Chains A and B, each alone.
Chain A
Amino acid sequence: NAGVTQTPKFQVLKTGQSMTLQCAQDMNHEYMSWYRQDPGMGLRLIHYSVGAGITDQGEVPNGYNVSRSTTEDFPLRLLSAAPSQTSVYFCASSYLRGSGETQYFGPGTRLLVL
């Protein structure tokens, strides 16, 4: 199993540009989520999905869109990039949604918005 994969690893955008961060998992996990990591703030939840066709907002959803058309993929879209979205983005997945579930993280995408 490849686990959780993310592309690209690094991206530079100009303010106002849009892009999609890709996330895929091959573990047949129902639950997937996106976090952003900023210095001194840990990781914060952006959006999550409990299954194909179902998504919901996390703690910091503004400026981001998600969709879940398949179990495997959970892309994150930046509609109009802003410097405040400069961050490292991690995708995670777990077999089910639940407090006892272990979530597995991808390698991250480092995004710089100029």
Chain B
Amino acid sequence: AQSVSQHNHHVILSEAASLELGCNYSYGGTVNLFWYVQYPGQHLQLLLKYFSGDPLVKGIKGFEAEFIKSKFSFNLRKPSVQWSDTAEYFCALNQGGKLIFGQGTELSVKP
């Protein structure tokens, strides 16, 4: 069965630190991968998505993700986090319209 796994449940960083959140998926076919962010008390918003082509995808607010097919990974990165990046981050695989989500990673950024 298809699945998505996020390694880190809670990450705590200081402002200006670099961020990398892990995401691994299990799926044998063509993948379409997404990262969503949920700020406290808000709904999910799309950060970035990968369909095909360049495996390095740039999203909003300085986030990027790299699709590595050989490692079944789609890690999210940001070179320098801000306090306003405090949120929960979800990696998801889109299978014919059905989103399969990872467990989520809660990011806390200390000012």
Chain A residues engaging chain B, CB cutoff 8 angstroms: 4, 31, 33, 35, 40-45, 48, 50, 58, 90, 92, 94, 96-108
State whether B44 touches A100 (Cβ < 8 A).
no
With A40-B9, A90-B43 given, is the CB distance from A101 to B98 under 8 Å? Answer: no
State whether B97 touches A90 (Cβ < 8 A).
no
State whether A43 touches B43 (Cβ < 8 A).
no
CB-based nearest A residue for B6: A42
Cβ distance B100 to chain A, nearest Cβ, rounded Å: 8
Cβ distance A40 to chain B, nearest Cβ, rounded Å: 6
State whether A42 touches B94 (Cβ < 8 A).
no
Besides A43-B90, A43-B92, A97-B96, 17 new A-B residue pairs in contact (Cβ under 8 A), listed by A number: A33-B97, A33-B98, A40-B103, A41-B103, A42-B103, A42-B104, A43-B99, A90-B44, A97-B97, A98-B94, A99-B32, A99-B95, A101-B94, A102-B46, A103-B94, A103-B99, A107-B43
CB-based nearest A residue for B97: A97
